[in-house]
Structure 1
C-alpha cells in the first residue's frame, strides 16, 4: 500500500531546505489564491493576483508556523510582520474574500523537520503574541475564574468595550450603536438604519409614554435614550465602565435624567421588576449557551404579566455546531463569546415558559452595517491609530471585514426573537397580527 507524501516530506528525506514561500505552501491545502512574497526573496501564488501578503520578518514566519490558520495569520499581520498589499488596513475585506476558501493544516512531523532545517529550530519555538491578544481560555480560569462568572464576564467586556470611547465614536458614528442596523434600503445611511433599528424594537415592544423598559447589555445607551425621548422610563445596564460613563453624560446632555439611567452593572444585579418590556440587544453572545435557562428566566422574572421582550443577537445558521468562536475572535475580539442557532434560542425561551410571537433573520443587514463601520475606520484611520495604536486599529479592521464576509456567506446570522410573558390564564394582550412596520 502506498501513501501520499507532500513535497516537504519528500524534501525532508532528501535533506533539502525550503524557502519561506515553500514553507508557507506546506501549511496550506491546495492552491494559494493570492500572491505571497517573503523577506528571503521567495514568492508563491499567482503573479497576476491583485492582492498579496508580504512576510517581512522571521518573527512573522514563526507566528505562521507555530499556529497555522487564522490565529497565526492574525498575529503576524497585527504585529506588522506580515503586510497585506492592495487593501487598506481599516478594511481588508477584498483580500479576505480572495482568501476565503484557503485552508491551513498543521504540518506532519516529517514536514516540521524540513521546516526546522530550513528556518532553524528557534523559528518553531512559541513566542509572545502581540499585546492585543488575551490569554487562551484554559489560562483565564486561573486568573479570572470560571467562564461566565461575574468576574470573568466583566473582564471579557472590559477587553472588548473599554478600548476608547473616542475610538468608538470614529468607527460607529454619531449613533454610538455597536449592533446591527436595520435598513429599509441599501442606499440608507448608517445613521438612518440605526435609528430605524431602535424604532423597530420600540414598536415591536409596543412601548408608549409612561411604560417601564429594562435594556440589558445597553452599550452606550442608544435604546435607552430612544425610548426615554418618547416618554418611557428606562434602566440600562452595562458591564463596561466607559460605556456607562459616556451614556450617563449623554443622558444628562439631552435632559433625560428624569426618565433614563444607565448603570455600570451586571444585568444579574438588577433588582427592580414588573417592567412592561425588556430589550436585550447584543448581549446573548456574551452569556454562554449553558446559561440560557438562567438568562431567559431572568427576563421572565423582570416582566409583568403580559410584558414583551425582544432578543437581538448573532446566531449560527444551524443548531448543532460548536458554539465557541474561532481562535482569532476569542483571543482578540470577544473572549468567551459563544453562538448557537436561533432554534436553540427559541427552544430555551419556550422551555422557560415564555411564548414566542415572532422571529426574523437580519443577516444581510449586518453585512451592510459592518461595511459602513469599516468605511468609518478607513476615513478616520490616522485619528484611530493615534487614539488606540496601529495594532488595535488593525485588529478592528480585520475583525469587522472578516465578519462582513461571514454574514454574506451565511456563516453567521442575526436574529430578532420577540416574545411575551403570559398571564395566569394564558391569554394574549397583543393584536392578532404583527402591529409594527418592518
Structure 2
C-alpha cells in the first residue's frame, strides 16, 4: 500500500489538499494551496511512536514531513480531515503500512527527538520552578537569537498578546495600544515607580518611561533580552528613567513601587508557586498601588494545567502551566489584592500570532540561516497551532487588575474605569 493510498483511506479521495510522498505516490487535489510531502519513511515512525500532535510536530521539525502553504490553514485542514478517524480505522491502516518492508523497518527504529526538544522537559513536576531550572526554561525559549525575534516580532519586540483598537490596526499599532492600555489601567503618572516582572525586551518599561515619565525597572531571566533592552534604552535616551536587569523577579530587593505589571510571566510560575508569586508582588507595592496581571489562561480548571508530553511543553515553553481566570483571580485575592477589572483578549492573541507568523514567513530564509531550519520550523508550527487554539477557545488571554488597599480600605480607584478597554 502506498502512502498516498493510506492518506486516502484516512480522509477519502476528495481531500482539498495535495499529498505527495517519497515513494512517488500522490493523493488529494493536485495544485492545492496546501501540500503535505512525506520526505522519509521516518515520518511514519514519529507518528506511530508519538501519536497526535507531538508525532506530527516531530516529523515536521525533523524534516521528514514538509508543509507547503500557509501553516495555519494546513493545521486547520489536518484538524478537519483527521478529526473523525476512529481507532479501528487507524489500526487497519497501520496493519497495511507494516506490510511494507521499508516502513516496517522505519517504524521498528526508535528515533531520537529533534535537537530542538528541551532535554529537561520531562522531569517530575515537584522538581520544576527552582531558580536554576526556571532560568534554563526561559533561556531555552527566549535566548534563541535577538535578530530572529526582531524579524518575527517586528519593531515593538513585544512577545505578548497585542490589543487591537480597530479592525484595520497593524501589529505595531496593537502592541503600542496594549502597552498604553496597561499604563492607563495602572494609572501611571510622571514620577511614579513601576516594576515590570518578566519584562522581555523592555517594551513596557520603555513605554512607561517615554510616554508617562515613570521610573521603570524591568527584570528578566533571559540574558539576551536584558542586553538588548539595555542597549535600546540607551539608544532612545531613556537611561535616566528606565532599567532592565538580568534577574529573577524573586531577587528584586526594592519596595514601595506605585505599580507592578506582569505581562506574560504568570504562565512560567507554576500552580504551586502562585500564592507566593502574588504575595511577593503585593509586598512590593505602596498602599493604593495597582498590579496588572496579563497572562494566557485556559477556559476552565477541569483538565491538568500542563501536558508534560505535549509539543508546547517539550519544544516551546518547558514547565509552562496555565490556569483558569477564576483561579488566577482567587490567588490574587488571597494574596491581598482587591480585583477591580478583568477582560479576556482571546481574539486579540489569535490576530497577534497571525502577525508574527506572517513576519516569519516573510523572513523565512534569513530566519533559517540565523537559527537553523529545525528551530524555525518549531516556531512556524507553534504559532500557527496557537492561532487555532485561541480561535477555538482552547486557550484564552486575561488581563486582571488588582489594587492594594490602604489600612482604611481605600482603593484610590475612580468610580468608573478611565481607560478604553
Length-normalised TM-score, structure 2: 0.91
Match of 2:199 in 1: 218
- In 1, Cα distance between equivalents of 2:218 and 2:349: 23
**CA displacement 1:16-64 (0-9 Å, x = unmatched):** xx443466678889x9774433222345556686423111112222212
**CA displacement 1:128-155 (0-9 Å, x = unmatched):** 12211122633x469xx91111111111
Specify every segment of 5 or more residues in structure 1 that has no aligned partner in the other structure, as ranges.
Answer: 1-17
- In 2, Cα distance between equivalents of 1:122 and 1:96: 25
**2:160 is aligned with 1:176:** no
**2:313 is aligned with 1:330:** yes
- In 1, Cα distance between equivalents of 2:274 and 2:214: 28
Match of 2:73 in 1: 94
Match of 1:313 in 2: 295
Length-normalised TM-score, structure 1: 0.88
Match of 2:143 in 1: 162
Matching of residues 22-421 of structure 1 within 5 Å: 34-43=17-26, 50-85=33-68, 87=69, 91-101=70-80, 102-103=82-83, 115-118=97-100, 119-135=103-119, 137-138=121-122, 140=123, 146-229=127-210, 230-325=212-307, 327-421=310-404
- Aligned-residue offset at 1:214: 0.4
Q: Is the 8 A contact 1:293 1:348 kept in 2?
A: yes
Please, what is the CA RMSD of the aligned residues?
Answer: 2.5
Q: Is the 8 A contact 2:260 2:285 kept in 1?
A: yes
- In 1, Cα distance between equivalents of 2:231 and 2:36: 44
Q: Is the 8 A contact 2:404 2:411 kept in 1?
A: no
**CA displacement 1:356-376 (0-9 Å, x = unmatched):** 000001111111111111111
Q: Is the 8 A contact 1:374 1:397 kept in 2?
A: yes
Q: Secondary structure at the match of 2:162?
A: coil
How many residues were matched structurally? Answer: 414
Which deviates more from structure 2 when the two are superposed, residues 98-107 or residues 287-296?
98-107
Which deviates more from structure 2 when the two are superposed, residues 120-129 or residues 371-380?
120-129
Q: Secondary structure at the match of 1:404?
A: helix
- Aligned-residue offset at 1:123: 2.1
| Structure 1 pair 245–34 and aligned structure 2 pair: CA distance change class (3 A) | same
Match of 1:11 in 2: none
**CA displacement 1:336-369 (0-9 Å, x = unmatched):** 1111211111111112221100000111111111
